Structure 1
Amino acid sequence: MRIQSMTKAITSASALRLVAMGRLGLDDPLVRWLPELADRRVLVSPTAALSDTVPAARPITLRHLLTNTSGYGMILVDSPLRRAMVENGTDAGVGPVMLGSQEWLSRLTDLPLAFQPGEGWRYHHSFAILGILISRVTGRPARDQLRDDLFRPLGMVDTGFRVPVEKVHRLPAAYRQTEMGPTETEPAGGGFHVGDPPFEESHSELVSTAEDYLGFLRMLVHGGVAQTGPARGERMLPIELAAAMVSDQTPAAAKAPDSFFSPTFWDETGWGYGVSVATSGPHRGRYTWLGGQGTTFHVDPDGTIGILLTQREVDDELMGLFSEFQGLPRG
């Protein structure tokens, strides 16, 4: 299945493993590995003219990427910045990436930040940058780092950026609901994730299976200790980093009503590292996220795990299904 933004939790764990190894710090400036992030300019407001900027008050750090507070992200209202992102191909949608990692990053960093790093929240782009960062720090494509450092140790044999030719028969078609009914957007056994990559794709998203993703989540449930694969019983993440990943890490000042699709998003929700976290309400402590191609998961404080995978673009009807799924009894 194309899991799209469920990738964010996986790349977060990969980055945190680099932190645990001492190769990267949560608050280290990233210009050492990403010189494209040097000397950032920041819009005086997210809707300002592209020339109406001030210098960045601080450098972008790993913590900013993990919490969607880097200054880059989806712009949800019409503005010069949003129009510029559409024009240069760096806006985000539910489709696969259309530019190689270096070209995408170069185009993105030609534009100013929407807000000062750490002072606002916008979705998605920080995690594409995170994939590129993992590649730069390790000196090899993110696909190789994730494979050797996470997927093989956890026994996630069907997770990666590409579907091998011998497994393409297991990849279902992808759909979008239209007035004419379900319309195929990628064929069964085909589409972006099949065959040789068209470009370097460290900023892209993964395909996976329920079994593989369950193994990954069980590692988080057990405080960073692997429960599956060759690494079973081994600590993959320090307990403090595993706990931080699934607890709210977003500054209150960054939780503006206009930062995400719903103005009530932050009412009972926080954001950890690659996952949202219920901060109040009946599911307090649950961490979860979804992918634009109709996939979602959640983990409750008692360790109950739920995974739902479809291959239909998220719409109002599918969100209703997600709500029903999230409301299922625990255990």
Structure 2
Amino acid sequence: MADGGFGGARGRRLIDGLTRYVERGEIPGALALVRHRDEEVLFAQIGKAADEHDHPIARDTLFRIGSMTKPIVTAAAMTLVEEGRLRLSDRVSQWLPELAAPKVLPSPGAKLSEAVRAPRPITVEDLLLHLPGFATALVAQGDLGQAVQVLTAGLAQRADMEPDAWMKALGELPLARAPGEEVINGFATDVLGVLLSRLTGKSLPDLLKSRILDPLGMADTDFWAPPEKAGRLCPAYVVQWLSGKRKVVDDPANSAFTRQPAFPSGSGGLVSSLDDYTAFGRMMLNGGELDGRRVLSRASVRLMTTNFLTPEQRALPFFGYPYWADRGLGLGLYVLDDLSRHRGLGREGQYGWGGAFATTWFNDPAENLTAVLMTQVAFAAVIPNIRADFETLVYQAIDA
């Protein structure tokens, strides 16, 4: 089997690079999988699933994939676009009357009473591009920052509120930005999930299962880990800013991810496995088809992997830094398009997405490559470093 360099010293370099993260105590363990030219060329199984025991991390370990939920929900939306039941230009108020007359604050920190009518309606395209302007805990200030807390649990939407009640509360708040103004990573795909559910008359879990998960054989991907799978869910950690030490923020013994949520989060609620997400990546890389089953048209995949952002939108910070300097935004995906500003190995045309607990996925169509990394440590300095290192280590191993 041709391995493109992954079976030799350069593949070992990739495994050693991830192993150093475990040896330095930055992560308890990780799984990585690379497919190149339709072959699995590297599988890495490093460290433990948890600090609290010595069980090695396993290929079927389950992970909270956070924002890597977004591409899956976006793909489901595109199936409805293909059926002529949904248009990117549609106003979301057709299905979400709570958002029929959005207001927006005239400036950050303005009082809620100062909100004015938004310059235009929110569209489906806005939801797919994270451009509706919804307030989140990351961007809202002053009175709006306080008011938005009713919608959130930490930095995510509340899974214990029913979708209709949550939408009513969201609709009563002004936007933090005008629609189309700025990319905000927050509630857009949660709202998209509610829209898809109302449009089809199905719950979001059932919709994803029938349109994406079952056709791709993603049997371990769901909005919770049921009792027969809960033992495979690893703990989630966060690095404490002052001490640099890692602590458990979601213990499988009492995890919210072992209970069916009242409101499945389209922005970040899925649990998945290494092989499941690789199947999704392979489908996208194959132009919407996997193992003889077509999930999306090639045209949909092309659209999803096309940059929609203007230079003005790309100039705005994302999570506080110039995230869009080297990449644009497609539908639910980043699209790398300026290697000179990437500051690392890669290739223009690469696309993918990552999650809050340092999970990451990218495809490179020119190299016919899919790469997935799974671990469970949130925020701090770990995420940008391990993602950048994983990408570099994958690309340096390609020699055929």
Taking structure 2 as the reference length, what is the TM-score of the superposition? 0.75
CA distance in 1 between partners of 2:201 and 2:218 (Å): 23
Q: Which residue does 1:244 correspond to in 2? A: 303
Q: Which stretches in structure 1 are left out of the alignment for 5+ residues?
A: none
CA distance in 2 between partners of 1:202 and 1:196 (Å): 11
Q: Structure 2: which amino acid aligns with 1:193? A: F
* 1:11 CA drift (Å): 0.4
Q: Which stretches in structure 2 are left out of the alignment for 5+ residues?
A: 1-62, 340-345
Give the conservation status (yes or no) of the 8 Å contact 1:28–1:62: yes
Q: Structure 1: which amino acid aligns with 2:122? A: I
Count how many residue pairs are aligned between Structure 1 and Structure 2.
323
Q: Which residue does 1:83 correspond to in 2? A: 146
Distance verdict in 2 for CA 1:120–1:28, change over 3 Å: same
* 1:129 CA drift (Å): 0.5
For 1:281-292, what aligned pairs fall within 5 Å after superposition? Answer: 281=339, 282-292=346-356
CA distance in 2 between partners of 1:136 and 1:52 (Å): 32
Give the conservation status (yes or no) of the 8 Å contact 1:176–1:312: yes
For 1:165-204, what aligned pairs fall within 5 Å after superposition? Answer: 165-178=227-240, 179=243, 181-188=245-252, 190-197=254-261, 199-201=262-264, 203=266
* 1:98 CA drift (Å): 4.5
Q: Does 1:268 align with 2:332?
A: no
Give the conservation status (yes or no) of the 8 Å contact 1:173–1:184: yes
Give the conservation status (yes or no) of the 8 Å contact 1:69–1:254: no
Distance verdict in 2 for CA 1:68–1:287, change over 3 Å: same
Taking structure 1 as the reference length, what is the TM-score of the superposition? 0.90
CA distance in 2 between partners of 1:23 and 1:40 (Å): 24
Distance verdict in 2 for CA 1:96–1:54, change over 3 Å: closer
CA distance in 2 between partners of 1:152 and 1:273 (Å): 22
Q: Which residue does 1:324 correspond to in 2? A: 389
Give the conservation status (yes or no) of the 8 Å contact 1:171–1:189: no
Equivalent residue of 1:39, what SS?
Answer: coil
1:303 to 358, 368, 385: 368
Q: Which residue does 2:84 correspond to in 1? A: 22
Deviations 1:83-106 (A, max 9, x none): 3213x2347616873433222222
Distance verdict in 2 for CA 1:329–1:309, change over 3 Å: closer
Equivalent residue of 1:308, what SS?
Answer: strand
For 1:78-157, what aligned pairs fall within 5 Å after superposition? Answer: 78-86=141-149, 88-90=150-152, 93=155, 97-157=159-219
Distance verdict in 2 for CA 1:266–1:105, change over 3 Å: same
1:253 to 304, 312, 315: 312
For 1:15-94, what aligned pairs fall within 5 Å after superposition? Answer: 15-74=77-136, 75-76=138-139, 78-86=141-149, 88-90=150-152, 93=155
CA distance in 1 between partners of 2:89 and 2:354 (Å): 27
Q: Identity, % of aligned pairs?
A: 34
* 1:28 CA drift (Å): 0.7
CA distance in 1 between partners of 2:147 and 2:157 (Å): 19
Q: Which residue does 2:380 correspond to in 1? A: 315
Task: Tell me which stretches of 4 or more aligned residues in structure 1 moved more than 6 Å.
Answer: none
Larger Rg: 2
CA distance in 2 between partners of 1:241 and 1:99 (Å): 33
Q: Structure 1: which amino acid aligns with 2:392? A: G
